[in-house]
């Protein structure tokens, strides 16, 4: 397993060790002690989530104010453009974003610590997305940052994604912060 830093402190890309042979492949998607040591974290994961989405669906940019969630993300089937925005007000990268392709083919995982808004755009016909969370979902604490906020200026691969009613009502960065 290899860990790579990103331009934003705390967000890390994980390349798991994949064992291939004539039967297919195998890799560990999580092992508590190894992940905690290599990521330099001491969080406990309390909830696993799974979503299936279709091409051009954008889910995000979500976060929780009272119960922030760290997330260990991966794509089981398909391909997504995954984005995390630093919303830690005391961070030198406050308001900056990181985006990357996560896919079933590249097997990359992404660690996004608490204090980030998160979302993804589906690039394949179907994407099955799985993530572990360090805190429980709390609907009263959830907020949504507008996916195309001009202050953040994310370089999404498409300009007209399919959004949920909730995501269409996302607030601007200036309104939230």
User: Which band of pLDDT confidence, cut at 50, 70 and 90, is reported for residue 88?
Assistant: very high
CATH of 2-176, one of 3.10.580.10, 2.60.120.10, 3.40.350.10, 3.90.1150.10: 2.60.120.10
For residue 93, give Cα distances in angstroms to 32, 140, 141, 173: 28, 27, 23, 14
Catalytic residue among 35, 43, 62, 118: 62
- d(CA 151, CA 47) in angstroms, rounded, equals 32
Catalytic residue among 35, 43, 118, 131: 131
Domain positions in the chain: 2-176
pLDDT digits (tens, 9 = 90+) for 9-50: 999 999 999 999 999 999 999 999 999 999 999 999 999 999
- d(CA 28, CA 17) in angstroms, rounded, equals 8
Catalytic site includes residue 137: no
Catalytic site includes residue 118: no
What pLDDT score does 91 carry? 97
């Amino acid at each position: 397993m290899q860990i790579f830093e990103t331009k934003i402190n705390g967000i890390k890309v994980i390349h798991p060790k994949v064992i291939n042979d004539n039967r297919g492949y195998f890799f560990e998607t999580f092992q508590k002690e190894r992940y905690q040591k290599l990521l330099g974290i001491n969080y406990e994961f309390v909830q696993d989530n799974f979503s299936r989405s279709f091409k051009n669906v954008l889910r995000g940019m979500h976060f929780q104010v009272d119960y922030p969630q760290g997330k260990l993300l991966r794509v089981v089937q398909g391909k997504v453009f995954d984005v995390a925005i630093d919303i830690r007000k005391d961070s030198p990268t406050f308001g900056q974003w990181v985006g990357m392709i996560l896919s079933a083919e590249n097997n990359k995982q992404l660690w996004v610590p608490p204090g980030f808004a998160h979302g993804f755009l589906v690039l394949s016909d179907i994407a099955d997305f799985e993530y572990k969370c360090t805190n429980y979902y709390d609907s009263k604490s959830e907020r949504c940052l507008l996916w195309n906020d001009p202050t953040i200026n994310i370089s999404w691969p498409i300009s007209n994604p399919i959004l949920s009613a909730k995501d269409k009502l996302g607030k601007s960065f200036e309104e939230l912060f």
